Structure 1
Amino acid sequence: MAEIKDPENTIIIELKDGPVVIELLPDVAPKHSERMKDLARAGKYDNVCFHRVIDGFMAQTGDVEHGNMEEGFNIRRAGTGGSDLDDLPAEFSKLPHDRGTLGAARSMNPNSANSQFFINFSDNHFLNGQYTVYGRVLSGMEHVDKIVRGEPPASPDRMITVKVAADA
């Protein structure tokens, strides 16, 4: 695992193949960074599936309303919800959507990001200036690369646990 310099702004996502350590960027996107920490601390991201995983592009997850893989889970609904918190305003920056960056998923409305996010498998610079970048993978990208592909995947992978490193 990567050396954690700022535990309060570091997220650890446990996947089936191992941990993914993500550095949040509160100086760039304070509201998005805070939202991820709030939802992680509330346990909302635990057991949530990756509902949209496109090879060479990105892995999307974070639908805390429909993406929890408990009894009654329906993959067709995953990706259509958010959290019970208000949507976030866009926090666009000059940071590029490079491999391993964390982006805020949203609808066509730039101010509609809520709980969903994606991890870029490759440099996706066509997204620059259109989606908020608020984190980057420090270690564990090899685990992200193993997430089952599909839109939606037939048998989706999930985030087993999501924790703020300061609380782990």
Structure 2
Amino acid sequence: MKRRVFLGGAAAAVAAPVLAQAQAPGPVRVRLDTADGPIVLELYPDKAPITAGNFLRYVDEKRFDGATFYRASKVPNAPEFGLVQGGVQNDPARVLKPIAHEPTTKTGLSHTNGAISMGRTSPGTATSDFFICVGDMTYMDADPKQPGDNLGFAAFGKVVEGMEMVQKILAAPTSPTAGEGVMKGEMLAQPVKIVTARRLPA
């Protein structure tokens, strides 16, 4: 006959924080070594566990090694602001299954300067490709007051070192004819290689 074990009093008080720590890990830092220099990200799996966890899987399985930053989308009349996009671009040998969407209304994060977020078409289609904001772009946050697809994009961290590298990528020349749809004219003439992507020690 199996014995049932019940935690009470001091034992329960000790167990609760341990469980909370296991379910809500703190920030995780990742270093992207690019051909132009390093970019250090701080990810928030406690706030965006699905999205941050997906990105970390690409890192841990070295799927981002050899990927590129391939897009620089500049704000009209203010080209120092915009976003840079990178990832494996649906390479069948690297891409993983799409993940569930985590809107900013759920995570509490926002698309402010340096935020990293997932590219997508409809909600629930994000895979590997991500973007980094240069300047505040809070219009990319979820907004339930807006009609249609109002779930925004899934922010899950921010740049903590190397923002000058991101700005350099944004300023790089683009091809006027490459790309389709909203990306036309925004594809980098010379994509910037992500040499390695690795977790940093806690």
Q: TM-score range by the shorter chain?
A: 0.7 to 0.9
Q: What is the CA distance between 1:135 and its match in structure 2?
A: 0.7
- 1:121 paired with 2:140, answer no
- 1:58 paired with 2:83, answer yes
Match among 184, 189, 197 for residue 154 of structure 1: 189
Q: Is the 8 A contact 2:27 2:44 kept in 1?
A: no
- 1:102 paired with 2:121, answer no
Q: What is the CA distance between 1:8 and its match in structure 2?
A: 7.3
Match among 24, 36, 53 for residue 17 of structure 1: 36
Question: What is the rounded CA distance, in whole Å, between the counterparts of 2:193 and 2:51 in structure 1?
Answer: 21
Q: Which runs of 5+ in 2 are unaligned?
A: 1-24, 75-80, 143-151, 175-185
CA RMSD of aligned residues (A): 2.2
Q: Which runs of 5+ in 1 are unaligned?
A: 1-5, 67-80
Question: What is the rounded CA distance, in whole Å, between the counterparts of 2:85 and 2:97 in structure 1?
Answer: 20
Q: What is the CA distance between 1:149 and its match in structure 2?
A: 4.5
| Paired AA for residue 40 in structure 2 | V
Decide whether aligned partners of structure 1 residues 27 and 8 sit closer, same or farther in structure 2, where only a CA change above 3 A counts: closer
Which residue is equivalent to 2:165?
Answer: 143
Q: Is the 8 A contact 1:46 1:161 kept in 2?
A: yes
Aligned residues with identical type, % of pairs:
27
| Paired AA for residue 163 in structure 1 | R
* The structure with more helix, counted as a fraction of residues: 2
Matched residue SS, 1:51 = strand
Q: Report how many aligned residue pairs link the two structures.
A: 147
Q: TM-score, normalised by structure 1?
A: 0.79
Question: What is the rounded CA distance, in whole Å, between the counterparts of 2:89 and 2:61 in structure 1?
Answer: 11
Decide whether aligned partners of structure 1 residues 33 and 149 sit closer, same or farther in structure 2, where only a CA change above 3 A counts: farther
Question: What is the rounded CA distance, in whole Å, between the counterparts of 1:19 and 1:53 in structure 2?
Answer: 18
Larger RCO (alpha carbons 8 Å, 6+ apart):
1
Which residue is equivalent to 1:92?
Answer: 103
Question: What is the rounded CA distance, in whole Å, between the counterparts of 1:82 and 1:96 in structure 2?
Answer: 32
| Paired AA for residue 32 in structure 2 | I
Matched residue SS, 1:166 = coil
Matched residue SS, 1:35 = helix
Q: Is the 8 A contact 1:10 1:165 kept in 2?
A: yes
